[in-house]
Amino acid sequence: MGKYFKLSVIIIILALTMVFAASAGEWETYDYSRFNNSTYLYDIGNNFKNTDIDNYNNVLKNMKSDYGITYTFIIVDDYTDNAWDLAALIREKAGYGNDYISVVITTDGGCAIYTLGKGQKAMNDDDVNKMLNALRRKLTKEDYDGALVTFIDLAKEMSDTYSGSPKTNDDSGSKPFDVVQCLLWVLIGGIVVALILTSTEMAKHRPVKKALTADFYVEENNVRMSVVEDRYLRSHETRTKVNNTSSGGGSRGGGSTRTGSSGRSGGGGSIRFK
């Protein structure tokens, strides 16, 4: 009886080991050949209803040009493991670069944001949570089209805040504001005004006769000093060092770094919406 019990335990352990090994290794056997670094929007499984994929792919491409960060939005219907690990490996396998913000959605209910480089600096932890919550509201309704629009809007907003120079779509043909030229004209104008005022004041003054003494300005016996003394108000002083808590990098220090089961590191986070 004892021999059969031990044999049963061994079989169960081997079965569980195989299950966990298969689950943990799904990212190892996934087909990454479908992804390339010139395409930024993927809908594997035809989940979009009203989205023009080519148009939105160009939108993401233009965002990369504007901010120097690669943005991708990827939906897959053939992956059930951790979406964050998949996002990290898609970036690596497709060669998207080191400045990166990506959303990867698995239709079984996983949603992950993966950030790296400038993307990680542009999205701190609060930004990641804000985007994940906004995406969850769309994905619980299976509104993948709305999730894409939400991602683009929030990514632009956060990138604008990080770069400090919001991008505008100005097709009027007007020239951009030249700060250097403006400062140059202000400097020239200031010099001209200063010369005019100086000349005006100099014209008001008449030349005076040179004198060797200051008797004209000093009245006799006007100043008398009777007592001279030094008074010390305190016998000692206490100094306290003021700690500088400023990091020097502004209010956006970037998101925290995590390491996935695949061994890849980066920022972001993940949720389940089903």
Residue tagged 């594997």 (tokens) = 44
State phi, psi for 146 to the nearest 5 degrees. -65, -35
CA distances from 122 to 3, 24, 116, 214 (A): 61, 31, 9, 68
Domains present along the chain, CATH in parentheses? 31-166+254-272 (3.10.310.50)
DSSP string, 68-129: S-EEEEEEESS--S-HHHHHHHHHHHHT--SSEEEEEEETTTEEEEEEETHHHHHS-HHHHH
Confidence class for position 236, pLDDT limits 50, 70, 90: low
How many Å apart are CA 270 and CA 82, to the nearest integer? 8
The reported pLDDT for the residue numbered 248 is: 36
The reported pLDDT for the residue numbered 196 is: 85
For residue 141, the 8-state DSSP code is T
Output 13 or 106, whichever has higher pLDDT: 106
The reported pLDDT for the residue numbered 172 is: 38
The reported pLDDT for the residue numbered 209 is: 64
The reported pLDDT for the residue numbered 2 is: 53
Confidence class for position 168, pLDDT limits 50, 70, 90: very low
Residue 4 has pLDDT above 50, yes or no: no
pTM: 0.60
The reported pLDDT for the residue numbered 40 is: 97
Residue tagged 């206490």 (tokens) = 238
Residue 121: CB atoms within 10 Å: 20
Answer left, alpha or beta for residue 45, where phi above 0 means left and psi between -120 and 50 means alpha.
left
The reported pLDDT for the residue numbered 29 is: 85
Output 198 or 74, whichever has higher pLDDT: 74
Q: Say if CB 82 and CB 110 are below 8 A apart.
A: yes
Output 85 or 186, whichever has higher pLDDT: 85
21-35, 51-65, 87-101, 108-122: the lowest-pLDDT one = 21-35
